[in-house]
Amino acid sequence: MEYRIGVISGDGIGPEIVAEAKKVLDKIGEKYQHRFHYTEILMGGCSIDAVGVPLTEEAIAAAKASDAVLMGSIGGNTATSPWYKLAPELRPEAGLLKLRKELNLFANLRPAYLYEELKEACPLREDIIGDGFDMMIMRELTGGLYFGERKTEMVDGVMTAVDTLVYNENEIRRIAKRAFDIAKKRRKKVTSVDKANVLDSSRLWRKVVEEVAADYPEVSCEHMLVDNCAMQLVKDPGQFDVILTENMFGDILSDEASMVTGSIGMLSSASLNDTKFGLYEPSGGSAPDIAGLGVANPIATILSAAMMLRFSFDLDKEADAIEAAVKQVLKEGYRTIDIMPRGDLGTGAANASVTQVGTAEMGDLIAERI
User: Catalytic residues, which ones?
Assistant: 146, 195, 227, 251, 255
Residue pair 37/318 in contact (Cβ under 8 Å)? The answer is: no
Collapse the DSSP code of 193 into the 3-class scheme (helix H, G, I; strand E, B; otherwise coil) and give the result.
strand
Q: Going by DSSP bridges, is the β-strand pair 35-40/2-10 parallel, antiparallel, or unpaired?
A: parallel
Neighbour order of strands in the sheet with 189-194: 35-40, 2-10, 68-73, 278-282, 268-272, 107-113, 134-140, 242-245, 189-194, 220-225
- Taken in order 318, 33, 301, 106, the sign of the CA dihedral is negative
C-alpha to C-alpha distances, 233 to 141, 191, 230, 258, nearest whole angstrom = 21, 12, 5, 10
DSSP 93: H
CB-side neighbour CA atoms (13 Å) of 220: 7
Q: With contact defined as beta carbons under 8 Å apart, do 180 and 194 qualify?
A: no
Strands 158-163 and 2-10: unpaired
d(CA 39, CA 332): 34
Residue 226 near residue 249 (C-beta atoms within 8 A) = yes
Q: How far apart are CA 7 and CA 56, in angstroms?
A: 15
Count, residues in the chain: 370
CA pair distance 87, 94, nearest whole angstrom: 10
- DSSP H or E run through 220: strand 220-225
Half-sphere exposure of 258 (CA within 13 A, CB side): 22
